[in-house]
Amino acid sequence: MTFSETSLSSPICEWALPIVAIKGSDYYPSGTAILIAERLALTARHVVEGFMEELGSTQVSKSKWKHSFALQVFQMRESGESGVVWNVKRIWRSGYTDIAVMLLEPTAEECLDFEWKKLALNLLALEKGSDVHAFGFPSPSIEIDASGARRIVRFTHSPTTSSGTVLEVCFDGRSSNLPHPCYLTDARFDPSMSGGPVFDAKGRLCGLICKGWDLLPGEPPISYASALWPLMATEIDLNRTGFPKGSSYPILELARDGFIEAEGWDQVRFGESETSSKKWVALVNQPVRDRLRKMAEQGDAASQNSIGGDYLLGRVVPKDEKKAAWWFRRAADRGSTDGLNNLGMCYSNGWGVRKSQRRAVELFRRAASRGHPEAQCSLGAALLAGNGVRQDQSEAARVFLEGARKGHPASMSNFGVLLSQGFGVDKDLITAYCWLSRAAKAGYEPARAMVEEIGRRLTWEDLKTAQKSLAK
């Protein structure tokens, strides 16, 4: 494992770019972007959504937002001797992945001098033990000098390279906070490196920096990189020659048409489950599937859960709920909280097993006691309704709060509803408004109407108090 500063003269600084949000006269640096083709860049979706939450955005249609800020990226040129600024004109996001796509537009003629090349993308899953190399801009800062005739903005950052190995391939993500396919790695990812490129041993882009955690001194880092293949399902409406203006299509079509260079694009599939209307994306690469199956048969719980999900959703393999439940049970027997929760969902819905709410609650409770946010939400719902367990509104509120504190959108919404009605907890419209607002900003649609409804019941002073709480 290595973590070292990289010179601005390095070629990577022409392709990996620091991001800055601008609102009025204030600048907010955070995150990293990577160029993949002409005027197209990728970054972490949570970087964009962090700006939206902090600086303000309004949804104007199902897929479009109006932002109260502008985004720019800074590109080094001539071995670090000069640089140019690009505006971010469009952003596309999807629920498949923590990766967002950005369309850039030049701010000056100097931008147009750049010789565009296609960055090689590797969509196929890496193997456990693979070497990876990441790059980003940790701890950036902005200094503004308005003392002279011209306003000068000084941007300070530390371009950094981090190397490590893949510890685990998480085909189905990790809990509700990391629900997309990703790589667990011992490479160190610091704040503001989010969205930065992760390269495989052949120099191909294989992921984007997603999350990193600080552990005790001497302990190895625990970091996650978003895998690339789910990106192919993201819908964009970038205009293309020979197609109607404004038409939407998955970014996979850009790979198919050669606009971006992506190895393995023809082995990506996506669709929607008939059982739950849940959208999915997966690889059909046979070596990858064989490796996953071998790991599952050797007792790897994450692989067992992934195969169970394949059978439940009809993802890559023919749909078979009995096989799904069988694999989830094997993962649960290994102590996997995902396995316990998934098997609980099978019993709750009668997927491949005889329906039993009582058995479902037992499994949800075991997973919830170990901090699984989705299981906490399901257990709370059962306690609230008295479904498979004695009704207990106070216990339901407590469990929802545990999930809400972990950022689970449905738990935040459900706890907010209980607060608004005084069920199982003291009635508190201001706190209810805050939790429902957080759920709505996390994309949980049922919370939006409740935010508006409660907002009409609050006084102006109450709303100011709520906004101060949300700003913390």
Strands 40-44 and 99-106: antiparallel
pLDDT score for 314: 87
Q: Do β-strands 121-122 and 262-263 pair in parallel, antiparallel, or remain unpaired?
A: parallel
State what percent of residues in the chain have pLDDT above 70.
95
Spatial separation of the C-alpha atoms in residues 441 and 174, rounded to whole Å: 21
* pLDDT exceeds 60 at position 322: yes
Residue 137 corresponds to which tokens in the numbers above? 């801009």
Return the SS3 of 179.
coil
Mean pLDDT value across residues 145-163: 76
Nearest to 248 by CA among 59, 64, 7, 28: 64
Domains and CATH numbers, the chain: 2-229 (2.40.10.120), 286-355 (1.25.40.10), 392-471 (no CATH)
Per-residue pLDDT band at 26 (split at 50, 70, 90): confident
pLDDT tens digits, one per residue of 14-24: 999 999 999 98
Across the range 339-352, mean pLDDT stands at 96
DSSP label at residue 170: E
> Tens digits of per-residue pLDDT, 36-48?
999 999 999 999 9
Q: State the DSSP H helix or E strand holding residue 169, giving kind and residue range, or none if neither.
A: strand 160-170
DSSP 199-251: E-TTS-EEEEEEEEE--STTSPPEEEEEESGGGGG-EE----TTS-TT--EET
Give me the pLDDT at residue 149, please: 63
Question: What's the confidence (pLDDT) of residue 121?
Answer: 97
Collapsing DSSP to helix, strand or coil, 53 comes out as helix
What's the confidence (pLDDT) of residue 12?
A: 92
> Could you tell me which residues are beta bridge partners of residue 86?
73, 106
Contact by Cβ (8 Å): 339, 305: yes
Q: Greater confidence, 63 or 284? A: 284
381 contacts: CB under 8 Å, gap ≥ 6 = 387, 396, 414
Whole-model pTM?
0.80
What pLDDT score was predicted for residue 76?
87
**219-276 residue pLDDT tens:** 777 899 999 999 999 999 998 877 888 889 999 999 999 999 999 999 998 887 766 5
- pLDDT grade, residue 329 (50/70/90)? very high
Is 366 strand, coil or helix?
helix
- The per-residue pLDDT for range 418-461, each reduced to its tens digit, is 999 999 999 999 999 999 999 988 878 899 899 999 999 999 99
Per-residue b or e along 315-348, where b marks 16 or more CB atoms closer than 10 Å to that residue's CB:
bbeeeebebbbbbbbbbbeeebbbbbbbbbbbbb
Q: What is the pLDDT of residues 57-72, one digit of tens each?
A: 877 666 678 888 999 9
Percent of the chain clearing pLDDT 90 (strictly above): 64
Residue found under tokens 């409804």: 453
Yes or no: say if 325 and 309 are a contact pair by the CB < 8 Å rule: no
Looking at mean pLDDT, say which of 177-191, 267-281, 371-385 comes out highest: 371-385
Quote the pLDDT of residue 289. 86
d(CA 433, CA 449): 11
Instruction: Give per-residue pLDDT as tens, 110-132.
Output: 888 888 889 999 999 999 999 99
Average pLDDT rounded to a whole number, residues 169-176: 82
Q: Is 219 exposed, middle or buried (0-12, 13-18, 19+ CB in 10 A)?
A: exposed
Q: What's the half-sphere exposure (Cβ side, CA atoms, 13 Å) at 369?
A: 8
Whether residue 213 contacts residue 229, with contact meaning beta carbons closer than 8 Å, is answered with no
For residue 271, the model assigns a pLDDT of 82
The secondary structure of 304-353 as a DSSP string is: HHHHHHHHHHT-SS---HHHHHHHHHHHHHTT-HHHHHHHHHHHHHTSSS
327 has a pLDDT exceeding 90:
yes
Interatomic CA distance for residues 432 and 50, integer angstroms: 22
Question: Of residues 15 and 278, which shows the higher confidence score?
Answer: 15
Please give the structure tokens belonging to residue 335. Answer: 């102590």
Q: Is the pLDDT of residue 215 over 60?
A: no
pLDDT(148) > 80 = no
Give CA 317 to chain center in angstroms. Answer: 25
On average, the pLDDT of the chain sits at 90
